[in-house]
Structure 1
């Protein structure tokens, strides 16, 4: 019987990393961050811990890639939802869709356990998060103040969701939308 060795071939680094990240994704969903370890991951993908480190890095690097990939899936659906929208409708739709997708994603519980509370500045001040907020606002020129308002509002809604999703959507439309109806270019 011929088998395909995932550690042999021209794309072995990429293939190994993909297999490792997929297994890490599954392990994180099933057991959470605290139970996640390189040894458990290595056993799951049938390789040594050294192979994990060589192709995917350590626990923190793997976590970052898994979270980035999850965020990219959510962002793709948000981008699709806001295509062609401008102003307050763009911001409201981006916020509501991002919250819905994040809450429905199986990794959301893991991410929330790892994410800081809204008062911790590193996430709110992240250039990656700020660039995403600028994209959701849809301005030609980035507006750091408007982006920070959106980021901080989103983090608050994510950490403290309303039990009634329709009421939350109405609240976002009423209170988050209007600031983006005016010229926010400063």
Structure 2
């Protein structure tokens, strides 16, 4: 039997493997599927190893959600980087919708959490609001960032019939709020 932590820095390898197992469980079974025993079994380690390297269930959930958020933000950043002004705002919001819908952890989180959890982790998250203003190029207004996050969430929970309609909604109702 080979050591599953061979070939690199043990701590980093353990965390990566445990996070990957947790992300896979969330993607397949939703947030309720995140269970330390199941994560340990998926990662091929003991329950004690999970606690030693990543902490308990809430720390693991938070880390996996942070990784998904970082992946999504990077996708939006790459997609919106070449755009400016109102085109950047529109492009970033639409890219966010596409990136969230394509991410299995984000999709499972939104599908299997309560409105209070969505509010805690997304709508009221000041770091996410700050990222929204940076990605859209709208400045440092956290209230505007929280509103952008809520716009994205509303379109995720109540999508338009097609991408063209979503673009129209953003251009007609979001852009005027930024004076564009």
Same fold (TM over 0.5): yes
Match of 2:47 among 26, 46, 49: 49
Q: Is the CA contact (8 Å cut-off) linking 1:91 and 1:177 kept in structure 2?
A: yes
Give, in angstroms, the shift of residue 6 of structure 1: 3.3
Is 1:74 aligned to residue 80 of structure 2? no
Instruction: Name the SS for the 1:107 alignment partner.
Output: helix
Aligned residues: 179
Distance 1:134 1:121, change over 3 A: same
Instruction: Name the SS for the 1:15 alignment partner.
Output: helix
Give, in angstroms, the shift of residue 18 of structure 1: 0.4
Give, in angstroms, the shift of residue 175 of structure 1: 1.6
* Alignment match, 1:156: 154
The whole-number CA distance in structure 2 between the counterparts of 1:75 and 1:46 is 30
Q: Is the CA contact (8 Å cut-off) linking 1:124 and 1:148 kept in structure 2?
A: yes
The whole-number CA distance in structure 2 between the counterparts of 1:147 and 1:158 is 17
* Alignment match, 1:143: 141
Which deviates more from structure 2 when the two are superposed, residues 96-105 or residues 151-160?
151-160
> Structure 1: which 5+ runs fail to align?
none
Displaced runs of 4 or more, over 6 A: none
**CA deviation string 1:77-109 (max 9, x = no partner):** 110111132221111100001101111222233
Give, in angstroms, the shift of residue 49 of structure 1: 0.4
Distance 1:16 1:107, change over 3 A: same
* TM-score calculated relative to the size of structure 2: 0.87
The whole-number CA distance in structure 2 between the counterparts of 1:148 and 1:47 is 39
Q: Is the CA contact (8 Å cut-off) linking 1:118 and 1:159 kept in structure 2?
A: no
* Structure (1/2) with the larger helix percentage: 2
**CA deviation string 1:16-57 (max 9, x = no partner):** 010101111111112222132111111122221011000111
* Alignment match, 1:24: 22
Aligned pairs for 1:1-186 (under 5 A) are 3=2, 5-7=3-5, 11-112=9-110, 113-114=112-113, 116=115, 120=119, 123-139=122-138, 141-182=139-180
The whole-number CA distance in structure 2 between the counterparts of 1:122 and 1:32 is 15
